[in-house]
Amino acid sequence: MKKTLIIFVSLLSLTTIFLVNITKVETKIISQDKTITLRAGGGGSSSGGGSSSGGSSSHHTSRSSRGQSREGIISDILNITLIIILFSIGSIILYIKVLRSSFNSKRYMRLLDNKDITWNYKNVERQVIDAYYSIQESWSEGDMRNAKKYMTKQLYENFQSKLEWMEVKKRKNILKKIKLLNVKPISIHDDEDDSKDLIWFYIKGRMVDYTINTETKEIVEGTTRNTSFIEFWEFTRTKNNWVLSKILQKEEANKIKFE
């Protein structure tokens, strides 16, 4: 029993160290990539670039080269497998947190609804769904005016300026087959000042998402494949309605206090 426990703790420690290193690499990539703006809210992938170094030696024998090549391939396969396992575990843990927080948030919203109908969950959910489709469609059209009522003034101006900058760079983000697969409240804040009330929502969507050069019509970013994504949307209260005020990516979940 002791032996099994020691092995388990060792594996857990190695996994934690590896996961921390991956997170650091991801954070570095995200912080360096400020120009990619796919999807309303800034989703998308960063385009990587590498540096090449000159002056390599070719004195190894073919046998040792083949051996190193095999070792390299095996090492790459093991690393990729470990990364997949770790990210799968991370996704499962995150979704368990989402389910638990969603249950508590809905229960809290039912209590608030007894004294203030603005907190009625069905009404709030409908506003979130309407906002999601309107914002994504407006973003793809390159004009946020049709979705203005679903956002705070600050976020609306931010989106408009991004679209204008993309137009200057002759870029247009194309979104197709837009779907909302899952929406769950995960964090509630009720303040004496109603203007400070807010709700965080877990958003899982699916769409075709790519950017074209408006002159050549060539795809410069993204893919024509229909892919899913996870984001977190913050809605704040304006009188008796809820409007989108912030969007965080899946990797930024640690910025939200799940409750």
Give residue-wise pLDDT tens across range 213-235. Answer: 999 999 999 999 999 999 999 99
Separation of alpha carbons 102 and 139, rounded Å:
28
Q: Tokens 């690393």 — which residue?
A: 79
* pLDDT tens-digit series, residues 236-259: 999 899 999 999 999 999 999 887
Is 144 within the bounds of a domain?
Answer: yes
How many domains does the chain contain in total?
A: 1
**pLDDT tens for each residue of 57-113:** 444 445 555 555 667 777 777 777 767 776 678 788 989 999 999 999 999 999 999
Nearest to residue 95, comparing CAs of 226, 235, 253?
253
Tell me the pLDDT tens digit for each residue of 123-154. Answer: 999 999 999 999 999 999 999 999 999 999 99
Question: Do the domain assignments include residue 1?
Answer: no
- Report whether 150 contacts 243 (CB < 8 A): yes
Q: For the chain, how far is it from start to end, CA to CA, in angstroms?
A: 37
Question: Per residue in 23-47, pLDDT tens?
Answer: 443 333 333 333 334 577 666 433 3
Say if 129 falls within a structural domain.
yes
Instruction: Report the share of the chain in percent with pLDDT over 70.
Output: 73
Q: Is residue 100 part of a domain?
A: yes
pLDDT tens-digit series, residues 174-200:
999 999 999 999 999 999 999 999 999
Looking at residue 19, its pLDDT comes to 42
Decide: pTM greater than 0.85: no
Q: What type of residue is 77?
A: I
User: Residue 118 belongs to a domain with what CATH number?
Assistant: 3.10.450.240
Let me know: does 221 contact 211? Beta carbons within 8 Å: yes
User: Is there a domain that residue 22 lies in?
Assistant: no
For residue 141, being part of any structural domain is answered with yes
* Domain assignment present for 236: yes
Parent domain of 202: 84-255
pLDDT higher than threshold 50 for residue 16:
no
Q: Is residue 219 part of a domain?
A: yes
- What residue spans of 114-169 are helical by DSSP H? 121-141, 153-168
